[in-house]
Amino acid sequence: MRIVVITILLVMTHILEMTLFKSIRIGGVAPDFMLMIIVSFALLRGSKEGALIGALAGLFYDVTFGMFIGQHTVAYILIGYVCGKFNKNFYRENFIMPFFCTLFSSLFMSCSSMFIYVMRGKANLLFFLKALVIPEVIYTVTLSLVLYQLIYLINERLELREKKTRNIF
């Protein structure tokens, strides 16, 4: 059941990013909802599930938006794995850790994209930082606090259902 729910959530988010979320751009910058989902589930479920969700989300993104397959997939896998390592040292009700994990993950994604453009010789670093990286990080981190609460509730319901079906308690 968990696999189905997470896959549906990723597909819906991907479809919404291609259609509706383009209208919530501010200054040409949109938040990275896939990143928020990866970080949230990685913190709630651990590094293995974080990496798997990152792989699926990265493939969705690379097939649709990417210049080549693999750039976002590898980055999302790393983010899911690293953020999932904080699972054991983290109180789920605390919103500080998702905030900082999303902040550093968003910076990592922006810097990896910036690195690709710099390698191609097509980027003015100062402009890229001021016009795209900083606004996107702020926008993503701000919305991540709301999205984390929603994913937290989804995860709690899934865990409650899993406990009932497995008769653990």
CB burial of 42-78 (b: ≥16 within 10 Å; e: otherwise) equals bbbbbbebbbbbbbbbbbbbbeeebeeeebbbebbbb
The pLDDT, as a whole number, for residue 122 is 67
Distance CA 160, CA 162 (A): 5
Provide the pLDDT for residue 123: 65
Please, which residues have CB within 8 angstroms of residue 21's CB and are 6 or more apart in sequence?
Answer: 30, 31, 33
The predicted structure's pLDDT at residue 37: 94
> pLDDT 10s per residue in the chain (169 long)?
888 999 999 999 999 888 888 787 888 888 889 999 999 999 999 999 999 999 999 999 889 877 778 888 999 999 999 999 988 877 777 888 899 999 999 999 988 877 777 777 766 778 888 888 898 899 999 999 899 999 999 999 998 888 888 775 5
Tell me which fold the domain 2-166 belongs to: Arp2/3 complex 21 kDa subunit ARPC3 (1.10.1760)
Reported as half-sphere exposure (CB side, CA atoms, 13 A), residue 144 has a value of 29
Q: How far apart are CA 160 and CA 64, in angstroms?
A: 35
Q: What is the pTM of this model?
A: 0.89
Q: Sort residue 107 into left (φ over 0), alpha (ψ -120 to 50) or beta.
A: alpha
- What are the residue boundaries of the structural domains of the chain, listed by start? 2-166
